[in-house]
Amino acid sequence: MARNAWSARLLIWAAVVPILVTAFGRRDVPPACDDHSFMHVLPPNVSIEKVDFVESGNTYGEGSRNLNYPVQPTNLPELCAVTIFVKSSSKSAYRFGLFLPVDWNNRTLAYGNGGFGGGINWLDMGAGVKYGFAVLSTDTGHNSTSGDISWALNNPETKTDWGWRAVHGSVEIGKKVVEEYYKKKIDYSYYSGCSTGGRQGLKEVQISPDSFDGVLVGSAAWYTSHLNTWVSKVGTYNLPLTAPNHINASMFPAMAKEVVRQCDRLDGVEDGIISAPDECTPDYTVMACNRPGVNQSACLTAAQIETTKKAYGDYRAADGTLLYPGLSPGCENQWSLVLSQNMTSLYGLNYARYFLYDDPDWQWQDYNDSAPEYAARKDPGNATADGYDLAPFRDRGGKMIMYHGLADGLVPAKGSDLYWDRVVRTTSGGNATATQAFFRYFTVPGMGHCGGTAVDAPWNFAAPFQASSLGNDSWSVPGHRDARHDVLLALMGWVENGTVVEDVVATTWDMSNDSATPVLKQRPLCPYPATARWDGRGEVDAEGSWGCE
Ligand SMILES: *[C@@H]1O[C@H](CO)[C@@H](O)[C@H](O)[C@H]1NC(C)=O
Ligand SMILES: *[C@@H]1O[C@H](CO)[C@@H](O)[C@H](O)[C@H]1NC(C)=O
Ligand SMILES: *[C@@H]1O[C@H](CO)[C@@H](O)[C@H](O)[C@H]1NC(C)=O
Ligand SMILES: *[C@@H]1O[C@H](CO)[C@@H](O)[C@H](O)[C@H]1NC(C)=O
Ligand SMILES: *[C@@H]1O[C@H](CO)[C@@H](O)[C@H](O)[C@H]1NC(C)=O
Ligand SMILES: *[C@@H]1O[C@H](CO)[C@@H](O)[C@H](O)[C@H]1NC(C)=O
Ligand SMILES: *[C@@H]1O[C@H](CO)[C@@H](O)[C@H](O)[C@H]1NC(C)=O
Ligand SMILES: *[C@@H]1O[C@H](CO)[C@@H](O)[C@H](O)[C@H]1NC(C)=O
Ligand SMILES: *[C@@H]1O[C@H](CO)[C@@H](O)[C@H](O)[C@H]1NC(C)=O
Ligand SMILES: *[C@@H]1O[C@H](CO)[C@@H](O)[C@H](O)[C@H]1NC(C)=O
Ligand SMILES: *[C@@H]1O[C@H](CO)[C@@H](O)[C@H](O)[C@H]1NC(C)=O
Ligand SMILES: *[C@@H]1O[C@H](CO)[C@@H](O)[C@H](O)[C@H]1NC(C)=O
């Protein structure tokens, strides 16, 4: 659109809202924050629900109307907030939100979701828009908390929206809106998501290699058919509550401590952080109740010790085929997520009820080992992101960074190893170096699911969901907003300048969730299969004392 048309629009708009013009004073051509700026690029089944101008320093979101993301980001930069409604079929619809900042960096960033939650992820969008990105996120086609999957019952269309269609459509339509709003081509498009968000990113790369130039995916719940059935299976190991093999959740901290005692030193430095969990097989007989001297209030029976072996063990089909790998030693502090409730986790139970079998009466006791194969064959919503040929993404110059916390007690870290290994085999004929030219995978010792730590491990590197645990106005890595400590900035450098991401430095603070307290530890994360090694001389808590090998 010609410049004078913009000026004319500005005059009309300015007459109505004079105060905003002052705010726009420092820009030459302020885009008007109203639906006329982009409505004409929307396809027929797409409509605008809401457009709001947000002044600098304000908050935005839907509050408690957003069941999954009720907390709003605060201290936003000046921006235009848009909510778009997409009728995806006669029986489904999804919405997505956009933050269009006045000070735009010419790039887009799409954020993913968590669990089965339905809601626009305004909180992460708040972190992203502070870099200058035009950010977007979809509600994935329903309005629910993370473990509520009843919206999927007998509705293949809502399943498809959650599976891939809402992300794909939002990115496609969102990019059109951005380019029309700013009257400029987008220079680069990025993605950032963890857990379900990791799955969503991988899925989009697999079905639409052109969507993103750079992709950040963490703790990816990519293998929906096998992971969500594994969640049921692992839950049954510790049930019912009255069984002699049942371990009460109150035991998990003591078990975690014992595993650190046994496994920590195998990585070359005793710092309370298990960096090489695969080299360790926890031996709980030292906590056995029949052993002399063992604390009888914190001991395990032989039957309970068998339960731990099953939880760490891989889930295999009768013929030995790997269905899903087990939990890694060191994640016991998070075991309550899949073990020790009075039923299996909702991610397993409700997946079976509402996604797989469409049978609300299905009980966890009904689980049997035909489930993973059945789920893989049916794959409701086409949600499983098991495409291993990433050549189309690679060939157009795409770059991807994947990571996984080794103390993840919800989505086993070894599931990411599995995805990486299969990509190496399928895309690069087994040559890991060739895969690393466009796709790198970083393990994060001591980090739980998507962020946080129970063992004071460096865990924050500006991945999704991480900023919000430091405050509703937080973004990047506070005090360390640079490409060495912020993985999103590192990814941008790789995409835009070809600066290969050799390592990323993770940070934690005295109080691990309070960045106002002093930095406690910083340490590089290394591209798998490399691991961080202490140089044996320097300060263990300083990043400079470590290298990748
Ligand atoms: C989501 O559902 C809740 C409770 O049923 C309702 O209060 C809220 O308005 C809904 N939110 C949206 C965005 O529709
Ligand atoms: C619009 O509706 C049609 C028909 O229902 C559907 O095929 C298409 O995917 C929808 N568009 C989007 C962006 O979802
Ligand atoms: C965005 O692109 C414009 C040119 O279209 C350029 O002047 C500006 O510096 C760019 N901004 C950034 C942050 O790259
Ligand atoms: C089981 O664990 C829960 C949660 O930690 C705790 O409230 C409860 O007292 C424990 N029960 C027993 C018998 O230890
Ligand atoms: C024994 O275990 C209980 C429960 O974990 C704990 O409260 C108590 O302090 C322990 N006793 C000793 C002597 O370590
Ligand atoms: C399981 O526990 C929850 C809360 O602790 C309770 O609401 C629910 O009724 C229990 N379910 C069964 C099957 O006992
Ligand atoms: C396994 O579970 C499914 C779903 O509950 C059920 O339809 C099937 O009959 C079960 N198979 C066996 C052998 O029990
Ligand atoms: C799932 O995706 C595949 C590949 O794009 C397609 O062939 C298949 O029809 C889809 N299935 C469903 C149930 O949507
Ligand atoms: C693996 O790929 C790298 C990078 O493309 C290449 O330099 C190397 O020769 C390959 N190695 C083998 C064994 O093919
Ligand atoms: C974030 O916002 C929520 C709800 O508005 C509030 O309860 C919480 O205290 C805030 N957290 C921080 C760290 O500011
Ligand atoms: C690319 O390199 C230039 C020159 O060093 C630097 O100014 C710019 O910030 C880099 N861009 C990114 C995205 O890292
Ligand atoms: C950090 O965690 C502690 C303990 O869980 C909590 O009380 C505190 O509010 C958290 N602080 C922030 C900034 O979220």
Alpha-carbon torsion angle 111, 117, 118, 120, nearest 10: -30
Angular region, 74: left φ>0, alpha ψ -120 to 50, beta rest? beta
The answer to whether residues 248 and 321 belong to one domain is yes
Of 363, 381, 399, which residue sits at a domain end? 381
Q: Is residue 262 in some structural domain?
A: yes
Q: Is residue 312 in some structural domain?
A: yes
Give residue ranges with CB within 6 A of ligand 7: 357, 362, 366, 368, 370
Each residue's pLDDT expressed in tens, for the chain with a length of 549 residues: 334 444 444 444 444 444 444 444 444 456 899 999 899 999 999 999 999 999 999 999 999 999 999 999 999 999 999 999 999 999 999 999 999 999 999 999 999 999 999 999 999 999 999 999 999 999 999 999 999 999 999 999 999 999 999 999 999 999 999 999 999 999 999 999 999 999 999 999 999 999 999 999 999 999 999 999 999 999 999 999 999 999 999 999 999 999 999 999 998 899 999 999 999 999 999 999 999 999 999 999 999 999 999 999 999 999 999 999 999 999 999 999 999 789 999 999 999 999 999 999 999 999 999 999 999 999 999 999 999 999 999 999 999 999 999 999 999 999 999 999 999 999 999 999 999 999 999 999 999 999 999 999 999 999 999 999 999 999 999 999 999 999 999 999 999 999 999 999 999 999 999 999 999 999 999 999 999 999 999 999 999 999 998
The answer to whether residues 161 and 241 belong to one domain is no
HSE on the CB side for 160, CA within 13 Å?
A: 13
Q: pTM to 2 decimals?
A: 0.94
The reply to whether omega before 77 is within 30° of 0 (cis) is no
What separation in Å is there between the alpha carbon of 105 and the centre of ligand 3?
A: 7
> What is the C-alpha separation between 250 and 19, in angstroms, rounded?
57
Distance of CA 445 to the CA centre of its chain: 17
The answer to whether residues 172 and 239 belong to one domain is no
Q: Which domain holds residue 246?
A: 227-381
> What is the C-alpha separation between 285 and 298, in angstroms, rounded?
12
The answer to whether residues 178 and 268 belong to one domain is no
Please give the structure tokens belonging to residue 360. 């609300």
Q: Is residue 217 in some structural domain?
A: no
Q: Is residue 168 in some structural domain?
A: yes
Q: Is 114 helix (H, G, I), strand (E, B) or coil?
A: coil
What separation in Å is there between the alpha carbon of 138 and the centre of ligand 1?
A: 15
The answer to whether residues 56 and 138 belong to one domain is yes
The answer to whether residues 233 and 178 belong to one domain is no
Ligand 3 atom with the shortest distance to the CA of 184: 5
Please tell me if the CB atom of residue 301 comes closer than 6 angstroms to any atom of ligand 12: no
Q: What is the pLDDT of residue 418?
A: 98
The answer to whether residues 376 and 233 belong to one domain is yes
Of 183, 216, 239, which residue sits at a domain end? 183
The answer to whether residues 232 and 377 belong to one domain is yes
Of 381, 397, 420, which residue sits at a domain end? 381
Give residue ranges with CB within 6 A of ligand 11: 483, 492-493, 496-497
Q: Is residue 462 in some structural domain?
A: no
Residue by residue, DSSP assigns 222-281 as --HHHHHHHHHHHHHTT-STTSTT---GGGHHHHHHHHHHHHGGGGT--SS--S-GGG--
What separation in Å is there between the alpha carbon of 254 and the centre of ligand 5?
A: 9
Count of domains in the chain?
2
Burial call 208-235: b when 16+ CB within 10 Å, e when fewer = bbebbbbbbbbbbbbbbbbbbbbbbbbb
Residue 431: nearest ligand to its CA?
9
What separation in Å is there between the alpha carbon of 171 and the centre of ligand 2?
A: 14
- Please choose from 472, 473, 474, 515 the residue to mutate so as to test ligand 10's pocket, defined by most ligand atoms within 8 A of CB: 472
- The single residue listed with the structure tokens 């190496």 is 424
Ligand 5 atom with the shortest distance to the CA of 295: 1
The answer to whether residues 177 and 251 belong to one domain is no
Q: What is the pLDDT of residue 11?
A: 41
Q: What is the pLDDT of residue 30?
A: 62
Nearest protein Cα to ligand 12, atom 10? 513
The answer to whether residues 247 and 176 belong to one domain is no
Instruction: Name 2's Cβ contacts closer than 8 Å, sequence gap at least 6.
Output: none
Could you tell me the maximum CA-CA distance found in the chain, to the nearest angstrom?
87
What separation in Å is there between the alpha carbon of 245 and the centre of ligand 3?
A: 62
Q: Is residue 438 in some structural domain?
A: no
Q: Is residue 514 in some structural domain?
A: no
Backbone phi and psi for residue 381, each to the nearest 5 degrees, phi listed first? 75, 0
Residues 197 and 111 sit within 8 Å (Cβ to Cβ): yes
The answer to whether residues 169 and 56 belong to one domain is yes
The answer to whether residues 44 and 128 belong to one domain is yes
Q: Is residue 419 in some structural domain?
A: no
